[in-house]
Amino acid sequence: MKSLKVKIPILIISLAVFTVLSSTYVTYRIFSKQIIEDIIHKNNMIANMLSDQVNQYLIDAQNTVEYVAKNADLEDMEKIKKEINKVYTSYRWLDVMFYMTPNGRITYSIPYSDIIRKRDYVEREYYKYIIENKKTYTSKVFISSILNQPHIMIVSPILDYFTGEVKGIIGGGVPLMAISKLVDKTQQSYDGKIYVVDEDGKILVSPDHKGILKETTLKRNIQIQDRVMGIEEISKKYDKGIGQYEDGFRRVYVSFSKIENYKGMIIVEKDEEYIGKEIKEIQRELIPLIVVIMAVSFLLSISLAYTITDPIEKLVTYVRKLTNDIHQGMKGFRVTKNNEIGELELAFCSMSKELSAKMNDLKELHKKERDTSKYLNNILISAGSGIIVIDDENKIVIFNKAAEKITGIKSEKIVGKDSHELIEVLNLPKNIFDEYKKERSMTEKEYKIQKSKGPAVPVSMLVSPIYDDQSKNIGLVCLMKDLTQIKMLEQQLRREDRLKTIGELSSSIIHEIGNPLAGMTNLIEVLKDNIEEEELRNELIATLREEVNDLNNLVINFLEFTRMNRDKKVSVNILHIINSALNILNPEVKYKHIRVITQFPSEIPFIKVNPSAVRQAFVNILKNSVQAVDTFGIIKINVKVCEEDKKSIVVSIRDNGEGVKEEFIEKMFDPFFTTKEDGTGLGLAIVYKIITDNQGTISVKSEINKYTEFTLCFKGEIVDESTNY
């Protein structure tokens, strides 16, 4: 009697289960394991192939350099030059070659660069290795000073036939770009990732960074058998192998192979997403089978439909007669049959009653949703912080009362308008909302907005993009807070902090002035006795004059520290300021035979500062370094542009002097703190004030009997393309 209830669900469920299980079983159980094995095999093949190619490349370059070194005749320098030129022209794997003297000076290079005249190379790792071991050496990757490009240097000694001493060095540079091209050729046809790293895990070639050597270490926790290791440990223990690691919820399969004649390795990896792609390809191939299954299912359905045609037709006729009763809630409905049709009549009656109840529930839910929407809308309108909502068409859709109060703009005048109109009225950056849409996280920044009536108002804006269920950006929500009271409190706190500092300075200056005054008082009392000895009187007067001079210097330094800097700030090249400070200290540098090493970039942003004040700061720092080092000491000045924003400038000044104790480092910028017997303790305090007044930062680190290094950072403005140091 219940055949219809049983047959139809069984047929539908059977077809669905058959289709799903068949495709799932075929796709995952048969092919997944094979796909993973294919991935590992392909990774291994690529890693081994590339390591062999790079190794052969380096061997060819090494053989070439060794050939020139072995056949070099130091008595015929012109022949050496011709041989270098010949190799450079004929062999594609070297783009720089040079001859170096035993004392680390490059006397000839191709291509030629003026920089070889200005420096020696005794600090290079390859020079030290050649002098010590007297055999061919392949270096790590570093930036060549001749071409200013990343290279692997291969150097070979020219040895004296009788003594075995190094009489010269032949070197050749293998460009990292050439190795990168080898990798890129394979990477273009491979949907995984290929890296070349050195023994420390530093990335030399990466699919994410093209053409420029990045000081980046490849971080991986790779599981090999039952142990998890990093790249550096793997490089030490294995020549080649396979492993895997977890990247979020994905598993990544890794193959690695060492480069035989270089301290580095090839790493090839591919994640599980590739398996899904392969399965999709298999599923597309299974479409014909699915079509056949569907056809069979269709025929079965036709056969089933034929067997139940008569009862279904009777049911349809009966249901049409009951249409009016259904609209009236099936009042007075009675079951007329005691078979399958009767069962359906009962189900239809029950369904009608349930439908009526569901309709009532739906109306109630709709009312609750409408009330909740009104409640949330009231919360938005009444919130203490300004709330602005912008849709995906840059139209303002919500502008609550707090936002009206902060901006002075009525919501009815701005809702529905383009967000750029609001930006223009509030004097905000033009593309402020466009920048936030590109970010996938909340960002809070401070701005000053121009109120429609009244002064500018400091506000904080917390802006977050809005995404729908498909991760599509559908707008922005902006939370705005008035910071007027907070800024007033901050200003008050800074004022109180300045008063506290002035009190501390006053206490210190009184103490510092007290000692000279006490000495002067005693000397004056002695002079009152009308001393007749001319020599003693002159000695007392000289001592009195020295005390007065010390007191005068103390007062001048204190005024320099405490006065507000009112000089106008201008855009300048910081290299000019540093060179000017070095010129001022040049006599002292020459007197102590100090070696000053400078490393300046060719292009550098301008900074907006008070030039004379910043120059004084550099003079004070450099003077400290000059006083700290012994005769023939070394001072290194390094200037570089920050890689992150291409604008910030970092200056480091490092000497090899006596150093500073760790407990004194934190006090070095405090007024009147000094470790020198004749110091006032204001020199570095003045430096700190000058740097902070010019929106810079300064820090110091030191080790006893090793070094002291000052690091200064300034924010740049524009690039000076004409500067070329």
> Of all helices (H) and strands (E), which one includes residue 558?
helix 534-562
What tens digit of pLDDT does each residue of 49-108 get? 988 888 888 888 888 898 888 888 888 888 888 888 888 888 777 888 999 999 988 888
Residues β-bridged to residue 605: 719
pLDDT at 649: 94
Backbone phi, psi, residue 334, to 5°: -130, 145
pLDDT score recorded for residue 239: 86
From first CA to last CA, the distance across the chain in angstroms is 99
Distances (CA, A) of 508 to 498, 501, 664, 671, 681: 15, 11, 18, 8, 11
Task: Please tell me the least confidently modeled range out of 293-307, 461-475, 491-505, 560-574.
Answer: 491-505
pLDDT at 198: 85
Instruction: Name the amino acid, one letter, at 164.
Output: G
Q: For position 564, what pLDDT does the model report?
A: 43
CATH code, domain with 416? 3.30.450.20
pLDDT at res. 1:
42
Would you say residue 630 lies in a domain?
Answer: yes
Whether the pLDDT of residue 411 is over 70: the answer is yes
φ/ψ bin of 649: left (φ > 0), alpha (ψ from -120 to 50), beta (otherwise):
beta
Residues in a beta bridge with 702: 708
Helix (H, G, I), strand (E, B) or coil at 378: helix
Length of the chain: 725
CA distance 398 to 492: 36
CA-CA-CA-CA dihedral for 95, 99, 100, 101, to nearest 10:
180
DSSP for residue 674: -
Minimum mean pLDDT range among 165-179, 463-477, 547-561, 569-583: 547-561
pLDDT given at position 622: 92
Measure the CA angle with vertex 362, ends 357 and 363; round to 5°: 100
By CB atoms closer than 10 A (0-12, 13-18, 19+), residue 637 is buried
Whether residue 141 is contained in a domain is answered as yes
The answer to whether the Cα torsion of 163, 164, 166, 171 is positive or negative is positive
Which residues constitute the domain of residue 505?
488-562
Residue 312 pLDDT > 70, yes or no? no
pLDDT of residue 575: 94
Q: Any idea what the CATH number is for the domain that residue 654 is in?
A: 3.30.565.10
Q: Phi then psi for 645, rounded to 5 degrees? A: -110, -5
Parallel, antiparallel or unpaired: strands 707-720 and 604-609: antiparallel
Contact between 221 and 228 (Cβ < 8 Å)? yes
709 pLDDT exceeds 60? Answer: yes
Is 397 in the same domain as 266?
no
Q: Is 529's pLDDT higher than 80? A: no
Return the top range by mean pLDDT from 310-319, 412-421, 701-710.
701-710
pLDDT, residue 635, reads 95
What are the DSSP calls for 512-553, one per residue? HHHHHHHHHHHHHHHHTT----HHHHHHHHHHHHHHHHHHHH
Read off the amino acid at residue 47.
A
Which one of 230-239, 317-326, 345-354 scores highest in mean pLDDT?
A: 230-239
Same domain, 647 and 605: yes
> What percentage of residues in the chain have a pLDDT greater than 70?
68
pLDDT, tens digit, 9 for 90 and up, residues 626-664: 988 999 999 999 999 987 777 889 999 999 998 888 888
Farthest-apart Cα atoms in the chain, separation: 148
* pLDDT tens track for 168-178: 999 998 888 88
Which residue among 562, 579, 599 closes a domain? 562
Instruction: Count CB atoms within 10 A of the CB of residue 229.
Output: 17
Torsion of CA 428, 431, 432, 437, to 10 degrees: 160
**At which of 356, 377, 398 does a domain end?**
377
Q: Which of 253, 287, 321 is the last residue of a domain?
A: 287
Burial class (CB in 10 A: 0-12, 13-18, 19+), 608: middle
Same domain, 505 and 588: no
Residue 725 lies in a domain: no
Please list the alpha-helical segments (H only) found in 71-153: 77-90, 115-118, 125-133
Residue 722 has pLDDT above 50, yes or no: no
Same-domain pairing of 647 and 692: yes
pLDDT at 721 over 80: no
The 3-state secondary structure of 412-448, one letter per residue: HHHCCCEHHHHHHHHCCCCCHHHHHHHCCCCEEEEEE
Per-residue pLDDT at 572: 93
Does the residue 72 lie in any domain?
yes
Q: At what angle do helices 611-628 and 683-693 cross, to 10 degrees?
A: 140
* β-pairing verdict for 166-175 and 227-229: unpaired
* Residue 476 domain flag: yes
Q: Tell me the CB-side half-sphere exposure of residue 456, using CA atoms within 13 A.
A: 9
The pLDDT, as a whole number, for residue 367 is: 77
Which of 419, 396, 393 has its CA nearest to residue 474? 393
Residue 106: exposed, middle, or buried by beta-carbon count in 10 A (0-12, 13-18, 19+)? Answer: buried
Mean pLDDT of the chain: 77
Tell me the per-residue pLDDT of 430-489, one tens digit each, with 9 for 90 and over. 777 776 666 666 777 888 887 767 678 888 888 888 888 787 888 888 888 888 778 777
Give the span between the Cα atoms of 303 and 177, in whole angstroms. 70
Residues 549 and 621 in one domain: no
User: Of 487, 468, 479, 303, which is closest to residue 386 (Cα–Cα)?
Assistant: 479
pLDDT higher at 176 or 548: 176
Domain identity same for 626 and 705: yes
Residue 583 has pLDDT above 70, yes or no: yes
Residue 300 lies in a domain: yes
Q: How confident is the model at residue 707 (pLDDT cuts 50, 70, 90)?
A: very high
Higher pLDDT, 97 or 550: 97
Q: What is the pLDDT of residue 599?
A: 94
Query: Higher confidence at residue 456 or residue 606?
Result: 606
Residue 683 pLDDT > 80: no
**Which pLDDT value is given to residue 601?**
92
223 and 194 share a domain?
Answer: yes
Q: Which of 598, 599, 588 is nearest to 631 (CA)?
A: 588
In contact, 244 and 270? CB cutoff 8 Å: no
Verify that 52 and 25 share a domain, yes or no. no
| Rounded-to-5 percentages of helix, strand, coil across the chain | 50, 25, 25
Lowest mean pLDDT, pick from 40-44, 221-225, 548-552: 548-552
**In this predicted structure, what is the pLDDT of residue 371?**
72
The answer to whether 654 touches 686, Cβ cutoff 8 Å, is no
CA separation, residue 680 to residues 506, 553, 618, 685 (Å): 15, 8, 18, 10
CA distance 416 to 395: 6
In this model, does residue 511 exceed pLDDT 90? no
- Please write the tens of the pLDDT for every residue from 230-256: 888 888 888 888 888 888 878 888 998
Distance of CA 116 to the CA centre of its chain: 34
271 in a structural domain? yes
DSSP letter string, 330-348: -TT-----SSHHHHHHHHH
Same domain, yes or no: 162 and 271: yes
21 and 54 inside one domain: no
| CATH code, domain carrying 540 | 1.10.287.130
pTM check: above 0.75: no
Cβ contacts of 603 within 8 Å, gap of 6 or more: 641, 719, 720, 721, 723, 724
Q: Look at residues 201, 142, 197, 198 and name the one whose alpha carbon lies nearest to residue 171.
A: 142
For the ranges 242-251, 492-501, 673-682, the one whose mean pLDDT is highest: 242-251
Q: How far apart are CA 624 and CA 601, in angstroms?
A: 25
Number of domains in the chain: 6
Task: Lowest mean pLDDT of 61-65, 142-146, 350-354, name the range.
Answer: 350-354
pLDDT over 90 (residue 713): yes
Same domain, 67 and 187: yes
Q: Which pLDDT value is given to residue 211?
A: 46
Whether the per-residue pLDDT at 562 is higher than 90: the answer is: no
| Position 241 in a domain | yes
More confident residue, 501 or 547: 547
Rounded CA separation 711/654 (Å): 9
* Same-domain check for residues 604 and 541: no
Q: Give the pLDDT score at 724.
A: 37
